[in-house]
A and B are shown apart, each in its own frame.
Chain A
Amino acid sequence: MRRVRAVLRIVAVLLALAGGGLYLASYFRGGCLLLGALLAWGFERRLALGADFGARVRALARRAAVPAAGIAAALLIGAAIMALTGYSPLASYEALFYGGFVRNWHISVLNAVPLVFTGLAIAFGFHGGLFNIGAEGQYLVGVMAATWLGIGMGLPPLVGMALIFLVGALAGAATNLVPALLKVKTGAHEVVTTMMFAYAIRTLAPIFIRAHGGDPANTAHPYVTDAVAEGVWLPLFKDFLPEANYRLHVGILLAVACAFLVHFVLTRTDLGYRIRAVGANATAARTQGISVAWITTLSLLGSGALAACAGITQVLGLDHRMFQNLDAGYGWNGISIALLARNHPLAIPFTALLWGVLDAGGQYMARTVQTPNAIIEIVKGILLFLLLAEVIYEKFGTILRDRLKGLLDRKREVRS
């Protein structure tokens, strides 16, 4: 029995890898392999859990119900707005999903890469009871670190990349050092401190850009620096999968690996356990000897490091320079992604991918059916609202339940 399960697990992983890779080249073949991986994994879990399997699946469905309902409701409201203002919801959504999921899938994936990292950063912060809203600033720090190290440093490929990631992550962590100290010493709320830092960094970034070859006076490309040395560019999928899109880089693999890493740290290490304890009930943690000050600091630093990695992958993988992304809203989007995934690290790649699809599909929709893709922004805002307005669900839920009960009772009366 155990051997069968082990075999199934290996098969699932291999199929997933192969399918994922192939999907980037051929959607159909890759998709089939991925489906096979899912089935293999499903069988393995069924054998492992036995009777529990059904209960587990139901529990998972219940946890995903609220986000799923939120997505559906937000899309519906978006459709209503489109209809009211003279655009066709059906045609728009068709273009959206076709563009995002099929035709421009590679753009969706490219969009998702930094979002996974910022989503992880914010979720990690939430687990520790912290609201790292200044992820934007840490992202920029990562971008600047990567650009600075990458331009003309002549580093050998792999070592260079590793070094850049290390230094960049540390820089991102260091960005949150002052907010962490302020929080521990004076109780200053990290929302204000990290936000101020983010805006300060954003304001100072042009200095960096000018120092590295950019020219803010150039209206066409005001914020473009020199290119990063080719030696540290992230490899492209095209290098070993010729059918893949020419811009798709392996950053997505790094992002997914990072999600696993964060999940591992939170669930399988003592540090992660303590972070979650402090986040859930700092008083109880303190009563049991856990140093809340130390853990809070580490949480904020870790969150900063993750957000910085978003910037590093963006520079090394896609832009190869510091690009015009001073206002990408990664911080705010990161909040939505984290909340949509209910702060579960393994769910974040999926929600980040959804966001990437929305962005890529939105642009395709704007190009083909001329629906303004700002509707996507509105849908995102409504979705975030619906995720949080749990009270609405409670009210809806009880109203629905009472109506159903009323219906069933009446049916029973009629029958008897």
Chain B
Amino acid sequence: MSVLASLLTPALFEATVRLATPVSLAALAAVISERSGVTNIAMEGIMLVGAFAAAWGGWHFGNPWIGLCCGVGAGALFSLFFAWSVVSLRINQVVAGAIMNILGFGLTRYLMMVVYGRQGTSEAVPRTLQECRFAIPLLSRIPYVGSALFDQTPVVYLSLLSVIGFAWLFKRTRLGLSIEASGEHPMALETLGRSVVRVRYLAIVLGGALCGLAGAFLSIENSNSFTEGMSGGRGFIALAANIAGGWRPVGAFAAALFFGFVDALQLRIQGLGIVKVASEIFLVFPYLATLAAVAGFVRKSRPPAALGRNFSVEHPED
């Protein structure tokens, strides 16, 4: 029993939320764009670009908040290229996503040399968002989960707000209805007078902003500089979270949280040295969960009907 007590500390939950934040933001991005009908595997590359921009902004202007804005803006701008490729040029969405990842890695590595004159890690930002941690008065006193959820750093709060925000968006706004229609039956939306092209562009750029935010978290909140390749595969775990979460904001967030929990648990177990199990067994969990979801073992998680198919009014069968 004491093993359990030493495992399930508030620190574990805090680590869970912290580890889950970039993944849940990117997973939200995946939810939005895939719900609108666009397969999105580009989160990795967009996150990198956002991370780099945030680190640069924070370093150049000396202010982490400006860095945050730079990260979000860069993510949105970079994803515009992706939107143009798949919505206007109607390129295969999977390959377009791969292109974004290649360009994301390449551009950030190149700009490292150009801006900082070295490879590996950028200059440190003078102030990180870690220093802007603040606690919400009453809620943070809740045992176990209070400090995890309500005594955190800005981007973590933003991620929580985003989940709530987007859940509300999908249920209660025009944009939310349009996005869902665009992913299930785009022709229906078009016959009702709304442009599928516009809706998909918006969805992708919104997602890009979220990925940029995730990147900013990585570089100026969780750390104090940009390191090449720091997205570390989180983009693909986010994809898994999206699928495992059934393409819904709350579901994807829950999945991301669960993956973060498994990750934090694994670290803690390693630290305590209790069990001699390879940590990698835990880390594989997200991928196996996704496979199970895709195979239909988890509850009926159906992708949006028009997912992955490029849409055009003249060629509805494309």
Chain B residue at minimal CB-CB distance from A199: B287
> Provided the pairs A196-B287, A203-B283, A388-B95 are in contact, do residues A332 and B102 lie with their beta carbons within 8 angstroms?
yes
> Provided the pairs A196-B287, A332-B101, A391-B89 are in contact, do residues A377 and B114 lie with their beta carbons within 8 angstroms?
no
> Provided the pairs A207-B280, A385-B99 are in contact, do residues A196 and B240 lie with their beta carbons within 8 angstroms?
yes
A68 within 8 A of B: no
When chains A and B are docked, how far (Å) is the Cα of A35 from the Cα of B102? 36
> Provided the pairs A86-B114, A380-B106 are in contact, do residues A191 and B94 lie with their beta carbons within 8 angstroms?
yes
B188 within 8 A of A: no
Main secondary structure of the interface of B (DSSP, over half): helix
Interface contact B90-A391, CB-CB below 8 Å: yes
> Provided the pairs A85-B114, A203-B280 are in contact, do residues A381 and B295 lie with their beta carbons within 8 angstroms?
no
Interface contact A380-B287, CB-CB below 8 Å: no
B160 within 8 A of A: no
Interface contact A372-B99, CB-CB below 8 Å: no
Interface contact B110-A375, CB-CB below 8 Å: yes
When chains A and B are docked, how far (Å) is the Cα of A186 from the Cα of B278? 32
0/1 string, B269-300, CB within 8 A of A gives 1: 00000000010110110011011001110000
Q: How far is the CB of A280 from chain B (nearest CB, A)?
A: 16
Q: How far is the CB of B55 from chain A (nearest CB, A)?
A: 16
A153 within 8 A of B: no
* B91 contacts across to A, CB distance below 8 A: 385, 388-389
Main secondary structure of the interface of A (DSSP, over half): helix
> Provided the pairs A199-B236, A203-B284, A378-B106 are in contact, do residues A192 and B99 lie with their beta carbons within 8 angstroms?
no
A6 within 8 A of B: no
Interface contact A381-B240, CB-CB below 8 Å: no
B98 within 8 A of A: yes
Interface contact A207-B278, CB-CB below 8 Å: yes
Interface contact B89-A392, CB-CB below 8 Å: yes
Interface contact B110-A374, CB-CB below 8 Å: yes
Q: How far is the CB of B23 from chain A (nearest CB, A)?
A: 13
Q: How far is the CB of A54 from chain B (nearest CB, A)?
A: 34
* A206 contacts across to B, CB distance below 8 A: 278, 280
* A81 contacts across to B, CB distance below 8 A: 110
Interface contact A131-B287, CB-CB below 8 Å: no
A197 within 8 A of B: yes
> Provided the pairs A335-B95, A391-B89, A392-B89 are in contact, do residues A384 and B102 lie with their beta carbons within 8 angstroms?
yes
How many chain A residues touch B (Cβ–Cβ < 8 Å)? Answer: 42
Q: How far is the CB of A208 from chain B (nearest CB, A)?
A: 10
Interface contact A384-B236, CB-CB below 8 Å: no
When chains A and B are docked, how far (Å) is the Cα of A262 from the Cα of B176? 48
* B119 contacts across to A, CB distance below 8 A: 372
> Provided the pairs A378-B103, A388-B96 are in contact, do residues A193 and B291 lie with their beta carbons within 8 angstroms?
yes
Interface contact B109-A372, CB-CB below 8 Å: yes
* B90 contacts across to A, CB distance below 8 A: 391
When chains A and B are docked, how far (Å) is the Cα of A381 from the Cα of B49? 15
> Provided the pairs A133-B94, A335-B95, A388-B92 are in contact, do residues A381 and B103 lie with their beta carbons within 8 angstroms?
yes
When chains A and B are docked, how far (Å) is the Cα of A189 from the Cα of B296? 12
When chains A and B are docked, how far (Å) is the Cα of A188 from the Cα of B283? 23
Interface contact B106-A199, CB-CB below 8 Å: no
A4 within 8 A of B: no
B85 within 8 A of A: yes
When chains A and B are docked, how far (Å) is the Cα of A375 from the Cα of B239? 28
0/1 string, A192-213, CB within 8 A of B gives 1: 1101110110011011001000
Q: How far is the CB of A256 from chain B (nearest CB, A)?
A: 26
* B290 contacts across to A, CB distance below 8 A: 192, 196
When chains A and B are docked, how far (Å) is the Cα of A28 from the Cα of B112? 39
> Provided the pairs A332-B101, A374-B109 are in contact, do residues A204 and B94 lie with their beta carbons within 8 angstroms?
no
Interface contact B98-A332, CB-CB below 8 Å: yes
Interface contact B287-A378, CB-CB below 8 Å: no
A293 within 8 A of B: no
Closest A-B pairs by Cβ, 9 of them: A377-B106, A374-B109, A372-B113, A374-B110, A381-B103, A381-B102, A378-B106, A200-B287, A196-B287
User: Residues of A with Cβ closer than 8 Å to B?
Assistant: 81, 85-86, 131, 133, 178, 182, 186, 188-189, 191-193, 195-197, 199-200, 203-204, 206-207, 210, 327, 332, 335, 339, 372, 374-378, 380-382, 384-385, 388-389, 391-392
User: Residues of B with Cβ closer than 8 Å to A?
Assistant: 39, 41, 85, 89-92, 94-96, 98-99, 101-103, 105-107, 109-110, 112-114, 119, 229, 233, 236, 239-240, 243, 278, 280-281, 283-284, 287-288, 290-291, 294-296, 308
- 18 A/B residue pairs, CB under 8 Å, sorted by A: A85-B110, A188-B294, A189-B308, A192-B294, A193-B294, A197-B287, A200-B288, A203-B284, A204-B280, A204-B284, A206-B280, A207-B278, A335-B98, A372-B119, A374-B107, A380-B102, A385-B99, A388-B91
